[in-house]
Structure 1
């Protein structure tokens, strides 16, 4: 209690000097008192609840065949409804002490919902697919996850489920999509649709809107980087005509869709920084298909130059936004791409000691140049 009494004295002094008012002093005291509250009781309660849950699961598993289907499913639905009502009540309290409970409850409800769908399929011997399982989970979990979840863990669980459903759906229909040259288009439209969620009506919670923008931008840029940095050096010949047609159609659709998704948000139409970001996103689909269209030395040169110019543009945007970490990432990726190009050019020299010596010198030179450029970028960012 000593620190609390000491804090009360400081708060009284701050109130007399006019730094804070009575309401602010009361909230600060409550917050500090909550920080020092012992957690042992809560930890024992959570452990006890977990033990009871495991015991109930063990009893049900031991008597699975003896329990009627209606009773099993009814209890599972009742548990979900009770858990959802409890989470909703906690969320309405707007108490910092309950935020961890809300996040944990949403995660538990999300996993229980996935288990309920699998439970229904197992009880009635339904022959479903992975895409159907994840699609049903998204349909049920999305409303309460978006409405109640505020932490990063639940957002990432939902995103992984969404990406898993997308991949499973594409795999399930890949023959039809390839036959109609729509595989690349579906991937590009998925990224654009996720980016367009920032302008959803009714609007998403601000944390979710920012998250959708960050994930979609990261996915588009990461996809381009993988294609030009990893796929192109490993791709020794041009793709088939069917694959090229699919890629060209998808690149055009992706460019238009990403431009439209970027322009849906009014603030993104103003300022050179936001316009530049929109241009970078729109250029990603056309540039990412270059390894599928070009081969040989000419293709390696074009894709290498395109990669470096693209990340130089992103580095410029990072400087304008004072994002030194993104600037450093751009410099590092450009250095790696230059080194990959050197490996391609060295060819058989890498099998000799001279090739290894030259590779070491190139790495040292790249490290020195990158450190100088990073220092310059850090100064500009400051």
Structure 2
């Protein structure tokens, strides 16, 4: 905020002189020399790129053990600095702690690839990801302060779960199918964890971000299931164990949603939990409706209508607008699915274009009229 803007507010009678002076003093104490930071950043980037270029040019001449030792020493040095100076760094700049944790985790993840390159070994991706989570997830959980760390933790868990499930898919054994359903649903349980720790930790933003990411994963998985059902992507549904696995996935989603409701009181916590429960119920429903275009689309509409209703109740403006937009897009896609032959004609294209305009106009009208006001709770 500029001093000129503060002076204009005072001249307009919006703030008194004392408030003007306090704002001016606060902005002076918290001023960010962006130009100076940019110069420092460019210099640091140039040095980093230079070091990378030197190492890359001589990569084959550097013994593998030396490279691994340096790589491991960098990780150890960052972790040592992080845990020895975390409180002091956090007092000066929480982003410094976040950056150190993120860089250490990234170096840890690339170390496994480096190790495989030196010793010419290979393995399924879920194995190094799982080992990385086992070694670095505790550090991310203990030091994370905002969305980059939360995204790294959640992204690693989702990637590991899906890669593992993909590599093991096709086994008709009931126990294996139930295990895969548990693995795929496991990242949703970051939601109740984040909900429970938000009011019990000084790093509220981190736990809030982690809960929102788990919420997104639950809703995204349910939406994907309805899309797969509309395209008959589940195929033969008589495979032993599949019915039990999708029912288990829905039950685990309901359990995670119930955990959010129990962990975080208030309308926001209740609505978050209810949506996650609804997303869990949508998965077995979509499996049941596989190959039925309209019923699968209706399941999608039901899910996102419920999300829109929850967003209205909890005053989530952005999520309400997203829900309205996605329903409109799905309506348009459904029309193309139902009129594939008609669209080959000029009349069909005209009809589709008119319908797209009508749906888009309706979505904008609904969003403007019913969306919570700006500044409402997110």
TM-score, normalising length: structure 1: 0.76
Whether contact under 8 Å (1:184, 1:249) holds in the other structure is: no
Q: 1:195 to 1:272 in 2, by over 3 A?
A: closer
- Report the equivalent of 2:138: 143
- Report the equivalent of 2:190: 194
> CA RMSD, aligned part only?
3.9
- Report the equivalent of 2:214: 216
Whether contact under 8 Å (1:184, 1:251) holds in the other structure is: no
Q: 1:200 to 1:28 in 2, by over 3 A?
A: same
Question: Within 5 Å, which residues of 2 pair with 1:1-382?
Answer: 29-32=28-31, 35=33, 38-39=36-37, 42-43=40-41, 46-47=44-45, 49-50=47-48, 53-54=51-52, 57-58=55-56, 61-65=59-63, 69=65, 72-89=67-84, 91-94=86-89, 98-123=93-118, 128-176=123-171, 180-182=176-178, 185-198=181-194, 205-228=203-226, 230-235=227-232, 239-242=236-239, 245-246=241-242, 248-265=243-260, 270=265, 274-294=269-289, 299-378=292-371
- Alpha-carbon displacement from aligned partner over 1:143-195 (angstroms, at most 9, x marks no partner): 33233343433332333222222222223333447664336623553143332
Q: How many angstroms does 1:58 deviate by?
A: 4.9
Could you tell me how far apart the structure 2 residues matched to 1:306 and 1:48 are?
52
Q: 1:249 to 1:276 in 2, by over 3 A?
A: farther
Whether contact under 8 Å (2:108, 2:136) holds in the other structure is: yes
DSSP-derived class of the 1:218 partner:
helix
Whether contact under 8 Å (2:147, 2:210) holds in the other structure is: no
Q: How many angstroms does 1:268 deviate by?
A: 5.1
- Alpha-carbon displacement from aligned partner over 1:207-252 (angstroms, at most 9, x marks no partner): 2321221111111111222232x32332289633017x51x32333
Could you tell me how far apart the structure 1 residues matched to 2:191 and 2:238 are?
30
Whether contact under 8 Å (1:238, 1:293) holds in the other structure is: no
Whether contact under 8 Å (2:271, 2:313) holds in the other structure is: no
Whether contact under 8 Å (1:195, 1:217) holds in the other structure is: yes
Could you tell me how far apart the structure 2 residues matched to 1:87 and 1:236 are?
47
Could you tell me how far apart the structure 1 residues matched to 2:59 and 2:79 are?
24
Could you tell me how far apart the structure 2 residues matched to 1:201 and 1:237 are?
37
Q: How many angstroms does 1:309 deviate by?
A: 2.5
Q: How many angstroms does 1:264 deviate by?
A: 3.3
DSSP-derived class of the 1:193 partner:
helix
Q: 1:133 to 1:51 in 2, by over 3 A?
A: same
Q: How many angstroms does 1:20 deviate by?
A: 9.7
Could you tell me how far apart the structure 1 residues matched to 2:306 and 2:369 are?
16
Whether contact under 8 Å (2:191, 2:210) holds in the other structure is: yes
- Report the equivalent of 1:13: none
Residue ranges of structure 2 left out of the alignment (5+ in a row):
11-16
Q: 1:184 to 1:114 in 2, by over 3 A?
A: closer
- Alpha-carbon displacement from aligned partner over 1:27-81 (angstroms, at most 9, x marks no partner): 654323x53783376346524652564376358625334x7x3x55444333322
Q: How many angstroms does 1:352 deviate by?
A: 1.3
Q: How many angstroms does 1:320 deviate by?
A: 1.6
Q: 1:197 to 1:129 in 2, by over 3 A?
A: same
Q: 1:46 to 1:172 in 2, by over 3 A?
A: same
Whether contact under 8 Å (2:254, 2:278) holds in the other structure is: no
TM-score, normalising length: structure 2: 0.77
Residue-pair matches, total: 361
DSSP-derived class of the 2:101 partner:
helix
Could you tell me how far apart the structure 2 residues matched to 1:192 and 1:47 are?
37
